[in-house]
Structure 1
Amino acid sequence: MTIQSTGSADPCGQLSPAAALFHSLSDPTRLSIVQRMARGEVRVGDLTGDLGLAQSTVSAHVACLRDCGLVEGRVQGRSVYYSLSRPELMDMLAQAEILLAATGNAVSLCPNYGVGSSDPTLMKEDAR
């Protein structure tokens, strides 16, 4: 992904698509769904069993990934089989694993986003 400066007065606006992409993958459940879909098509019912979550919860996460263009569905009879729509996603996640290994997973110690941190979205709202 190449992000180039346009000299705009809103540099954060340039990153909105990238931020949305990473936000769509920031939830551990969505990341688990993506990893499961990397092995092939799957139905929501299969995911509920794999993840131990309610069907409505899994459906909402799959819908988020679908709305972001990362997942697509194929109807067969009364079932919908979901799969990754962009194989590049697995390349990106593989590179993330390399980065995590190179940094010794230091991001897990981050006070804002690491293991055990509070939701940074809530912290920003509290500061207002």
Structure 2
Amino acid sequence: MTMVHAASSVLHVNEPVAMSAAACMFRSLGDPGRLAILRHLASGEHRVVDLTAHLGLAQSTVSAHLACLRDCGLVSSRPHGRASIWSLAHSAQLMELLASAERLLAATGDAVALCPTYGETALR
């Protein structure tokens, strides 16, 4: 994998390392609950209690998902009294990635959902 630098020089990247990092990022996005949290945070900052109310998930589940997303650098928090306010860390890039995923899903139709390895009925 190569990346073109702004000065038109080519920067060589260790492809196995880059692919591993990309796979790790996609695994962090591979849970419907985490994707729902990201979608809610795209509309603005939220507290855990707000996310639990909006998503119908347990507080412990939301907190665990937020910790995963924070550890992956996708969300950040700031203290607000006794609570934390959560937001997207890289909003523009993340929304661009999710929009691209939606376009790809539209192009592939039901193929991903029907995939015997990773689809909705796959044995995990």
TM-score, normalization by structure 2: 0.84
**Structure 1: how far apart are the matches of 2:53 and 2:120?**
25
Say which structure is richer in strand: 2
1-side partners of 2:13 and 2:45: how far apart? 43
Residue type of the partner of 1:46?
D
Once the two structures are TM-superposed, the CA of residue 117 in structure 1 deviates from its matched residue by: 1.3
Q: Does 1:110 align with 2:97?
A: no
Partners of 1:7 and 1:86 lie apart in 2 by 22
Find out whether 1:97 has 2:112 as its counterpart: no
Taking the aligned partners of 1:14 and 1:101, their CA distance within structure 2 comes to 27
For the aligned residues, what is the CA RMSD? 1.9
Q: Deviations over 1:45-67 (max 9, x none)?
A: 11111121211111000000000
Name 1:52's counterpart in structure 2: 56
Tell me the residue number matched to 2:34.
30
Listed as ranges, the gaps of 5+ residues in structure 1 are: 120-128
Change over 3 Å in CA distance of 1:7–1:56 after alignment to 2: closer
Q: Which runs of 4+ in 1 moved over 3 A?
A: 11-14
The percent of aligned pairs where both chains have the same amino acid is 55
Number of positions where the alignment pairs a residue of Structure 1 with one of Structure 2: 115
TM-score by length of 1: 0.82
Q: State the Cα distance separating 1:106 from its structure 2 match.
A: 1.4
Unaligned runs of 5+ in 2: 3-11
Give the distance between the partners of 2:61 and 2:113, measured in 1 at CA: 25
